[in-house]
Amino acid sequence: MAGGGDELKLLGMWASPFVLRVKLALSFKGLSYEYVEENLRDKSELLLKSSPVQKKVPVLIHNGKPICESQIIVQYLDEVYSTTGPSFLPVDPYERAMARFWAAFIDDKFLASWLKAGRGKTEHEKAEGLRETFAAVETLERAFKECSKGKPFFGGDSVGYLDIALGALVAWMRTAEVRHGIRLFDASRSPLLEKWVERFGKLEEVVRVMPDIDRLVEHAKLREAEVAAAAANN
C-alpha cells in the first residue's frame, strides 16, 4: 500500500463504525498506516492527548498532528492524498455540498433514529425510532438515485464519500439482522440500496477491513447485558 513517506497512525476500536469509516477511506486510498486498538474503558495517554476535547476514537495522527471525527478525517485524507486512489468528494461545488449534506443526514437522522430504536427506554420509544429509521431509509433511497445517476455507487462508477459514510454502517446492519431479524435495506422498501449493499460488500477494499459479523453479534450481546445489569443496579 502507498504511504509516500508520511507517518499515519489510526487510534480506534475494532467494533466502532466510525473507526471503520476511516479504515475504509485508508483502504480505498491504498495507504499504509499503523493501527492502535484502544481500550475505551482505560484510554491511553496518546488518545487523551490527541483528542482532548471529545476523548473519542477515531483519531488519525498524520506526521504527529491529530485529526478527529470520522467524516472530517475522510475529507482530510481526500484532500491530502488527492492524487492517490479515487477522489471521494465530487469536483463540482454543488455536488460536493450535496454529498456533505447527505453524509450529515446519515449520522444525524438515519443513525440517530436507528440508535433510538435500539436503545429506547420504552417500547413506544423503540417503535417510534424504528418508524423514523424506515422513513430515513426511504429518503436515502431517493438520495442514492439522485447521487448515483443510475451508476453502481453514490460516487458514480466508483466509491465516493457517501459510499464510505453509509458503508461503515453495513456491518452493524447485518448484525442487527442476525440478532433481531430486521433488515433495513430490502427489495420492497429500498431496492436500489439493497443492491448497493451487495456490490459494496464484495469490494476487495471493503472485505479487507470489514469486521467479522459473528464477533460483532457477540460484542452486541455483551454490551446489552452490561447495560441491563447497570440498569438493574440503579
CA–CA gap between residue 155 and residue 44 (Å, rounded): 36
Running along the chain, 234 residues long, what does each successive block of 10 average in pLDDT?
75 98 98 98 98 98 98 98 96 97 98 94 95 98 97 97 98 96 95 98 98 97 87 77
- pLDDT of res. 206: 98
CA 24 from chain center: how many Å?
9
149: left (phi over 0), alpha (psi -120 to 50) or beta: left
C-alpha distances out from residue 2 to 31, 63, 83, Å? 5, 15, 11
Q: What pLDDT, on a 0 to 100 scale, did the predictor assign at position 1?
A: 53
All structural domains of the chain with their residue ranges: 8-81, 93-215
pLDDT one-digit tens code per residue, 215-231: 999 999 999 898 878 87
- Per-residue pLDDT, 98: 97
**What integer pLDDT is reported at residue 230 of this predicted model?**
80
3-state class of 62 per DSSP?
strand
What is this structure's pTM?
A: 0.95
So what's the pLDDT on residue 84?
Answer: 96
Q: In the CATH scheme, what architecture does the domain 93-215 have?
A: Up-down Bundle (1.20)
- The answer to whether the peptide bond before residue 191 is cis (omega within 30 degrees of 0) is no
Closest CA to 168 of 47, 91, 73, 93: 73
| CATH number listed for the domain at residues 8-81 | 3.40.30.10
Strands 59-62 and 8-12: antiparallel
pLDDT in tens, 61-111: 999 999 999 999 999 999 999 999 999 999 999 999 999 999 999 999 999
- Asked if residues 88 and 37 have their Cβ atoms less than 8 Å apart, the reply is no
Cβ proximity of 39 and 170 under 8 Å: no
